[in-house]
Structure 1
């Protein structure tokens, strides 16, 4: 793989998350009745950062959880005969809450569909919204994000790589060209 370009650097990631936090609060008329749920793996630290930003803006602690979609994937047979379950950790009852799923990249929509199934197995939220740092298009399912940090037009021969400080020691979104 060859790095083609950097789309978001550390400052741009921070600005995008700040804007998303404000948009979440505006659309939901505050932070009451919200639950942030990060989709493992990079959605979880992004959800934690959104929680911190919402706390800075509104002085409220929005509950947070994380969801592992491994067993909900529709391509499980293709991926591995022995899938590794990371774990789902949502300690609050999501019934009648507005759940905001948080992920790093929205691509085909299959990950989000699996995450919605996982959340619905835990409880029945009044609403599920989606916040993503990047949307690269190429949807296979009719899913769209409610909050997007950056829309990135890509080809299917490109790979969007999101790095977060909590796991990669840097915040960056880059596009790589797949070797042919």
Structure 2
């Protein structure tokens, strides 16, 4: 099963031309396409090394971009460990977020597990995959969502970017890039299969309006991550 390729993305692609997108006009690229590819390859090797193989391994991507990153990691794992079946899933955390009272209107996505699991994650080594790790609140919601699916043997976290500013005691097991930032900055992960253009991680200063209105809570569902508190 390949949920990444069969599930439509909920957000429209972002413009790849900085001149037409004022929110990224002053952005600087901190990771390019080749950097992201190398980071994912390294993370795949680290997953295999830490778990002494890929037996009972399940990648669960957190929408939106975490799903595509999970797909890419699955492809790399099949090259490293031929016994790995290449399956991955999608974990929707919408109804487990802690800011629903502030922003109650949200589109609920789908949690999709590989068919071979029969709807359970019991005794699996679950690796949650997300693009930007910030406050940790999205990951807390993901852990709550996992409780409704079963009891995995272990849960690990892979993040392409860790930008710091944790609000909860959550740490990534695998990190593509540790990126020191201020809270006023925005971090965006742009993936070709979601946004068009080329893969990149860019950082920019938030606009004055955004800085004055944004509260340190969980970010909106991933849409070229603004780096809001994930």
Q: Output the TM-score relative to the length of structure 1.
A: 0.96
- The separation in 2 between residues aligned to 1:53 and 1:62, in whole angstroms, is 9
2:89 to 59, 65, 84: 65
Aligned: 1:173 with 2:201: yes
Confirm whether residue 44 of structure 1 aligns to residue 87 of structure 2: no
Q: Tell me, what secondary structure is at the counterpart of 2:26?
A: strand
2:157 corresponds to which of 130, 138, 141? 130
- Report the alpha carbon displacement of residue 70 of structure 1 after superposing the two structures with TM: 0.6
Within 5 A, what are the aligned runs for 1:83-122? 83-91=106-114, 92=117, 93-122=120-149
Larger Rg: 2
**Matched residues in 1 for 2:31 and 2:134: separation?**
17
Note the C-alpha offset of 1:82. 2.5
Per-residue displacement from partner, 1:100-147 (whole Å, max 9, x unpaired)?
A: 000000000000010111112111001100000000000000000000
Counterparts of 2:26 and 2:176 in 1: how far apart (Å)? 21
Matched residue count: 179
CA deviation after TM superposition for structure 1 residue 62, in Å = 4.1
User: Which segments of 5 or more consecutive residues in structure 1 lack a partner in the other structure?
Assistant: none
What is the alpha-carbon distance in structure 2 between the residues aligned to residue 142 and residue 128 of structure 1? 15
Structure 2, unpaired ranges of 5+: 1-22, 209-230
State the secondary structure of the residue aligned to 2:34.
helix
Corresponding residue SS for 1:122: coil
Aligned residues of 1:99 and 1:129 also touching (Cα < 8 A): yes
> Please, what TM-score do these two structures have when normalized by structure 2?
0.76
Bigger strand fraction: 1
Structure 1 stretches of 4+ with a deviation exceeding 2 A read: 1-4
2:26 and 2:44 map into 1 onto residues whose CA distance is: 30
Q: Could you tell me which residue of structure 2 aligns to residue 150 of structure 1? A: 177
Greater alpha carbon shift after TM alignment, 146-155 vs 117-126:
117-126
